[in-house]
A and B are shown apart, each in its own frame.
Chain A
Amino acid sequence: MGTVILLALTGLGLAALYFLVASGLSLVFGLADVLNFAHGLFLGVGAYGTWWAAGNLPGAGPDGFGFVLAVAFGVAAGTLVAILVELVLIRPLYSRTIEQVLVTVGLSLAGVALLQATWGADARPFPRPDWTRQVTGIFGAQVPNGGLLLIIAAVLVLGAILAFLRWTRYGLVIRAGVENREMVTALGIDVRKAFTLVFAIGGAAAALAGALGGVYFGTVSPGQGGSLLIFAFIVVVIGGMGSVVGSAYAAVVVGLVQQFVNYYGTSGLGDICVVGLLAVVLLLRPQGIAGKVATA
C-alpha cells in the first residue's frame, strides 16, 4: 500500500511538472496557433535564473525567503524572455507556420547552446532548502517534499490561471480567441496583446517549472527543458489544444502511467506507454480530452 501511495504521489509530482510546462504551451497554441518549440527555453531560463540568483543576487539564497526571491527572479527572467520572443521573433511570423517552426526550433537549439557556453554542459547541483530534501510520511509512504512542493505549486497555478480566465477581461478575450480569433478582432479587440499575455503566462509557468524542477531533480542542466518539452507536447495533445483543464487531466494521466509502468514493468516502458496513449487518443479523439476550449 505504501508503495502505491508513494508511486501515486511521485507520479503526481511529475504530472505537476508536466502541467506547468504544458499549460502555457496549450494556451499559446490554442490562441495564437503557434507551436512553440522554444517553450523549453523558458524553463531553462527559469531554472538557471533561480540557480544564478541563489548564489549571486543580494538577499537571495538557498533557504527561506532568499529561496523565494531566487525563484521569483528565475520566473521573472523566464517571463521576460517569453515576452521578448513573442514581440521580436513570433509577432512578425503569425500565420507563417513553417517559419514559426523553424524559428522556435532554432531558438530552442541556440538557447541550449547559450546555456552550455555560459555555464557548461554538465548538470550542476541546484540550491534548495533543506526541507525539500526531506520526506513526509503519508499513509505509510515516505514522500519527497520536493514532489509535494511541485504538486502544491501546480494546483495553485491551475487555480490562478482558471481564475484569470474566468474573472478578467483579458481572460475572456483569451477564451474567446481560442474559439475564434478572427471574430475577436471583428469585435474591435486587438488580439495581439492577448498573444503577448499568453506568452508571458506560459513563460512564467514554464520558468516556475524550471525552478521547482531543479528542486525535484536536485540538479539543473541545459537540456532539461527540451526533454520535458516532449512530454509536455504529449500532454497538450492528449488534453486538447487550448484547454488548461484538459492539460491538467492529461498531465495526471501521463505522470501516473509513466511512474507506475516504469516501476512495475521495465524502466523506460512507461515512456513507451505514454506514446501509445497519445496514439490511441489521436485515433479515437483527435481533439483531445477537452477539445479546443480555454476552460474556465
Chain B
Amino acid sequence: MEPILSVEELSVRISGLHILQGVSFTVAPTGVTVLLGRNGVGKTTTLRAIVGLTPPAGEVRGTIRMGAQSLLARPTHRLVRGGLGYVPEDRCVFAGLTVAENLRLAERRGTTPAYDKVFALFPELDRRGRQRAGSLSGGQQQMLAIGRVLLNDNRLLLVDEPTKGLAPKVVTEVAEVLERVAESVPVLLVEQNLAVVRRLARDAVVLAAGKVAWTGDAHELLLETALTKSLLGVGSAEVATPSARSELASPAAAREDQL
C-alpha cells in the first residue's frame, strides 16, 4: 500500500538549534502511526513542519509529500483545506469563544460540516454549545479540539499528545474516540502515554536526538524491554500498568482476556 504521507530527510533549524536532522519515515494509509521519543527530540516540531507551522525564523529542508502532492512551502490554511487535519498540543481552543463558535470557525466553505458525527462522538459538545470554551475542563477542551477537526473530511489527521494532562477516565474516552476515528482516516499520533499507544498504534516511529532511531510494529517495540528502555527511557512494566491496562483495554482485547 502506498503511504499517505512520506517524509524524507526533513531538517528543521529554529533560532540556531538543529532540531530535526534528516528525519525520514512514512505513514500508512490506514490506522494509527505513532511518533515516539523522549521529551525534546522533535516530535511536535515534526508535526508542525508537516502542517507548515514552523516559525518564520525557522528553516525547513527536505521533502514532505501527502500522496503525490508536495506539502513544503504551501501555506498552512491550504494544507488544511486539502485534507490535513491538525489537533495541536495543549488543545488551543479559543477560550473567549463559545463551544458552538469554536466549531463554527472550523466549518469550511463549500462543504457540509459533519455536526452529527461530532455530536455522536462527543454529545457533551452539543449540550455545552453556549458555554465559553475557556471554562471547559481539560478533557472537554480536548474533545472540542478533536471535534473541530472532525467537522470536515480529512485525508490524514495529525494529533499531538491528545491525552496530556487528562484524568485516566478521560484518557480512555479520548483513546476510544481516536480508535473509532482511525477506522476511517489515518492518524499520525504523538503520544507519551504508552498504554494509549499500545491500544491504538499499529506502526511506530521513534525519534532520538533529531533523527529516526527506530521504525516498525508498535507492539513489537513495546514488547522489547531493552529497546523501550534505551529509546524511551521506560521499561515494559511501565508500558501499561495493570490499572491502565484494564482502563484502556479495547473491548476486543477484554473479550480475549476473558476467553
* A interacts with B: yes
- Type the 1/0 row for A172-183, where 1 means its CB is closer than 8 Å to any CB of B: 110110011011
Q: Are B77 and A189 in contact (CB under 8 A)?
A: yes
Closest to B51 in A: A186
| A179-B96, A189-B77 known; A184+B105 contact, CB < 8 A | yes
Q: Are B94 and A180 in contact (CB under 8 A)?
A: yes
A187 to B147, CA, bound (A): 12
| B146 CB to nearest chain A CB (Å) | 13
Q: Are B105 and A176 in contact (CB under 8 A)?
A: yes
A190 to B75, CA, bound (A): 9
For residue A191, CB closer than 8 A to chain B, the reply is yes
For residue A134, CB closer than 8 A to chain B, the reply is no
Interface residues of B in 79-99 (CB under 8 A from A): 80-81, 86, 88, 92, 94-97
* Interface-centre pick from A94, A173, A185 (highest chain B CB count, 10 A): A185
Q: Are A189 and B105 in contact (CB under 8 A)?
A: yes
For residue A265, CB closer than 8 A to chain B, the reply is no
Closest to B76 in A: A185
For the complex, would chain A's binding face be called helix, strand, loop or mixed by DSSP majority? loop
Q: How many residues of A contact B (CB 8 A)?
A: 22
For residue A95, CB closer than 8 A to chain B, the reply is yes
For residue B53, CB closer than 8 A to chain A, the reply is yes
- Type the 1/0 row for A62-91, where 1 means its CB is closer than 8 Å to any CB of B: 000000000000000000000000000000
B96 CB contacts on chain A under 8 angstroms: 175, 179, 293-295
Q: Are A188 and B77 in contact (CB under 8 A)?
A: yes
Q: Tell me which of B77, B95, B105, B106 contacts A190 (CB under 8 A).
A: B77
A183 CB contacts on chain B under 8 angstroms: 88, 92, 94
Closest to A295 in B: B96
| A90 CB to nearest chain B CB (Å) | 15
B88 CB contacts on chain A under 8 angstroms: 183, 186
Q: Which 6 A-B pairs have the closest CB atoms?
A: A188-B80, A95-B56, A185-B76, A183-B92, A188-B81, A176-B94
Binding site for B on A (CB under 8 A): 94-96, 172-173, 175-176, 179-180, 182-191, 293-295
10 pairs from A and B in contact (CB 8 Å cutoff):
A95-B57, A172-B105, A173-B105, A179-B96, A183-B88, A185-B75, A185-B76, A185-B77, A191-B77, A295-B96
